[in-house]
Amino acid sequence: MTINYRAEVDKRKDAMMEDLFSLLRINSERDDSKADKEHPFGPGPVKALEHFLAMAERDGYKTRNIDNYAGDFEFGQGDEVLGIFAHLDVVPAGSGWDTDPYEPTIKDGKLYARGSSDDKGPTMAAYYALKIIKELGLPTSKKVRFIVGTDEESGWGDMDYYFANNGLKDPDFGFAPDAEFPIINGEKGNITEYLHFAGENSGAFKLLSFTGGLRENMVPESATAVFTSDSNLADLQEKLNAFVAEEPVTAELSDDKGQFSLTVYGKSAHGMSPFAGINGATFLAKFLNQFDFDGAAKDYLRIAGEVLHEDFYAKNLGLAIVDEKMGELTMNAGVFAFDAASEDNTIALNFRYPQGTDAQTLKAGLDKLQGPSKVSLSEHEHTPHYVPMEDELVSTLLAVYERQTGLKGHEQIIGGGTFGRLLKRGVAFGAMFPGYTNTMHQANEFADVEDLYRAAAIYAEAIYELIK
């Protein structure tokens, strides 16, 4: 039986896009200020989860909501289980959008919305792929479990809870539609480490606060410092104008009765590719370093503006490492929080590291820094993950990709972390194609509409090849 999967997708294009639009309209950013027992990551992720499960029930699946952390449904028959892991949460929209990030807009074939490429668009492509198999009544020898999480962009608390409380055996193998084609069969390790500083400071300049960054896995698009000074606004503005003329940033400076507020604007990017962004926080610190700060503030600004500034590979920290298969370690200085009244101010450093090092080795290097009072580690660490090319999961997915596209498949290893690594035999598969413009975690995030349809066809054939 020969199936034209692309033709089957085309029959459902309008319905797929309608369902995707309804999901994209839900602001599913994590909001800890509104988190409670019923909303572990805030109301937005729960709303998206409930919406998705209602859609699945509409289509005839028996769904489960695992205490608003995650949800799933199953399809097919058999002892072995293919897991499809997607996520419904998104990173904060931030500023700089040309459209409303939560009102999907198609322009020149591109679908603009927060989550369009990461990960609601690919999630819907995979969902409709399974829907095709179900509606065609194709026979299966294995089950599919479609699992959606609500905390992928932060601490993966959703999957920790899901695996501990869902009551079923883990899937035997699986993929996450949350990266790119032809396949991601290797992922670097991922750990966030925190530099801690005291807050008391004095001098001709006194730092009252320094804030920047929305998530540890995002390059800070902007940062703001509030400080007092014996200088005047005109002198500071002149120095700022000269700085901005030489650097790829913009800035705003104001004075409120001797209390200055300075914001520097850069460009956000995904934390796995810090070199693709412009870190507003480290540029802000670089500018402030020329002034007479003292104490903890001086250390904080020196570390941020000199040591960490554009140190994407942690060379200044003495932590640079390159692995032949997995490539180089990268570091994103992602979240900055300084308050003069606090005794515990932090800089969050998100490391994506290859084989050959580990979190404790990185910490030992950071412990040597002069200035921070201590170094601590995130509770959540992902060690390097790799599924060999000869694994049947990898070879099957690549064969389908090659048939559908006419392009040669090959392995890829990334610094990003996907739910593919939740299983020993787990990978990321699509939905972005070679040569795509990566706008994940950035303003004006988009997915190419035609690429979503192409991905759905690939997913449909791939799922069926794995479970037939």
Tokens read off for 195: 């530099």
CA distance 91 to 115: 8
**CB–CB of 182/356 below 8 Å?**
no
Residue 78 DSSP label: S
330-339 vs 345-353, strand pairing mode? antiparallel
152 is catalytic: yes
Burial 222-255 (b: 16+ CB within 10 A, else e): bbbbbbbbeeeeeebeeebeebbeeeebebebee
Q: How many CB atoms lie within 10 A of CB 277?
A: 21
CA distances from 443 to 185, 265, 270, 439 (A): 28, 13, 11, 7
Those residues with Cβ within 8 angstroms of residue 238's Cβ, 6 or more apart along the chain or in another chain: none
Residues 6+ apart with CB under 8 A from 443: 93, 94, 95, 96, 97, 101, 221, 268
Catalytic: 256? no
Instruction: List all residues 6 or more positions away from 54 whose beta carbon is below 8 Å from its beta carbon.
Output: none
Cα 176 to chain centroid distance, Å, stands at 14
Strand partners, 270: 218
Give the pairing of strands 186-187 and 413-414. parallel
How many angstroms separate the CA atoms of 107 and 403, rounded?
A: 30
Greatest CA separation for the chain: 81
Q: Which two tokens stand for residue 342?
A: 């606090």
Please name every residue paired with 40 in a beta bridge, in sequence order, or none if there are none.
42
Does residue 161 contact residue 67 with C-beta atoms inside 8 Å?
yes
- Inter-CA distances, 292 with 168, 198, 298, 302, Å: 60, 18, 8, 12
233 φ, ψ (degrees, to nearest 5): -60, -40
Set 19, 29, 72, 89: catalytic member = 89
**Choice among 72, 152, 178, 299 that is catalytic:** 152
Backbone angles phi, psi at 130, to 5 degrees: -65, -35
Catalytic residues: 89, 152
